[in-house]
Amino acid sequence: MEVTPFQQARILAEALPYMRRYDEATIVIKYGGHAMGEEQQARDFARDIVLLEQTAINPVVVHGGGPQIEAMLKKVGVQSQFAGGLRITDAKTLEIVEMVLAGSINKQMVGYINDAGGKAVGLCGKDGNMVVARKLTRSVVDPDSHIERVVDLGFVGEPDKIDTTVLMQILGRDLIPVLAPVAASADGGTFNVNADTFAGAIAGALEAKRFLLLTDVPGVLDKSKKLIPQLTIEEARALIADGTIAGGMIPKVETCIDALERGVEGVVILDGKVPHAVLLELFTELGAGTLIHN
């Protein structure tokens, strides 16, 4: 459907109050490996990010790359192992993870944003000791014996200390930081960090006005599979307790709650495959996912 110039002008006019709401605000956007999709989708996302920066918003992009890592591991003949839904990262796997996340994917995203007219800067958590992580431990329960055991995930970490010095030098200067979820260890080594967790920690440290978690589902769904537009922290915890929020959505919601408790004003889980999902969420009344707030 072709939009007339009159309709375009009306859309812009209706978006103005929302643009004013986020004027000079920091918005952290986690762009997932599955949400990245095809090249055109990634380029459309890049254009939307440039538009945010042009409207006096400070966007910070954190990207994942699970499918791309899996493809490269398969290409070089490294077999992945998982425990409790997390990749076990040995030294050989870590080398591939860092190469893909901080290398090819990061620079590809930077290139798309620059091509759309922005000025992107590609970084990872190791730059300026932005994110120092500690080793992540996970317990899993054997389905047969029901015995709980601690699993060694190798070089998998969780954020321990966040230093925003580098980001504060970038934000507000027409530059768009694009962050890969690779973190430093206390001894100068490297940890692979879950991208959702990494993004939530960055959003909390920046006390972002919004943290947008782009994924491959519409948001948080109720028991009849309908989208829940808004949730408080208490309501979200209750839905986890009664089993409405289950599976892979649990760690995402827990990341959102953690970000809110660190000072983020609002967190939104939304479908990154929806065209212009970020703009729909920020600049329209209906939004595009589930808003979780204090």
* CATH code of 104's domain: 3.40.1160.10
Q: What is the CA radius of gyration of the chain?
A: 19
Give the C-alpha separation, 106 to 68, whole Å. 12
Q: Is 186 part of any domain?
A: no
Q: How confident is the model at residue 139 (pLDDT cuts 50, 70, 90)?
A: confident
Segment 247-255 shows an average pLDDT of: 89
How does the average pLDDT of the chain come out, rounded?
Answer: 89
Q: Is 148 part of any domain?
A: no
Structure tokens at 267: 């967190």
Write out the H or E segment, with its range, that includes residue 133.
strand 131-141
DSSP reduced 3-state for 231: strand
Min mean pLDDT across 138-142, 152-156, 161-165 is at 138-142
List beta partners, residue 29: 61, 212
- Check whether 179 has a pLDDT greater than 60: yes
Q: What is the DSSP letter of 102?
A: I
Q: How many domains would you assign to the chain?
A: 1
Amino acid at 24: E
Whether residue 289 contacts residue 249, with contact meaning beta carbons closer than 8 Å, is answered with no
pLDDT score at 107:
95
- The residue that leads in pLDDT, 294 or 184, is 184
- The residue that leads in pLDDT, 39 or 161, is 161
> 190: Cβ–Cβ under 8 A, 6 or more apart, which residues?
94, 98, 126, 155, 182, 183, 184
Q: Is 55 part of any domain?
A: yes
pLDDT score at 120:
97
Domain extent at residue 69? 24-81+90-122+172-181+193-284
Q: Is 13 part of any domain?
A: no
Q: Is 292 part of any domain?
A: no
Q: How confident is the model at residue 261 (pLDDT cuts 50, 70, 90)?
A: very high
Segment 82-108 shows an average pLDDT of: 86
Q: How confident is the model at residue 143 (pLDDT cuts 50, 70, 90)?
A: low
Other CB atoms closer than 10 Å to residue 60's CB: what's the count?
23
- Check whether 22 has a pLDDT greater than 90: no
Whether residue 34 contacts residue 216, with contact meaning beta carbons closer than 8 Å, is answered with yes
CA 210 to chain centre: 12
Give the C-alpha separation, 43 to 49, whole Å. 10
pLDDT score at 13:
79
- Report percent pLDDT > 70 for the chain: 93
Q: How many separate helices (H) and strands (E) can be counted in the chain?
A: 11, 14
In 3D space, the residue among 45, 182, 166 whose CA is nearest the CA of residue 106 turns out to be: 182
Q: Is 102 part of any domain?
A: yes
- The residue that leads in pLDDT, 140 or 176, is 176
Q: Is 31 part of any domain?
A: yes
Q: Is 290 part of any domain?
A: no
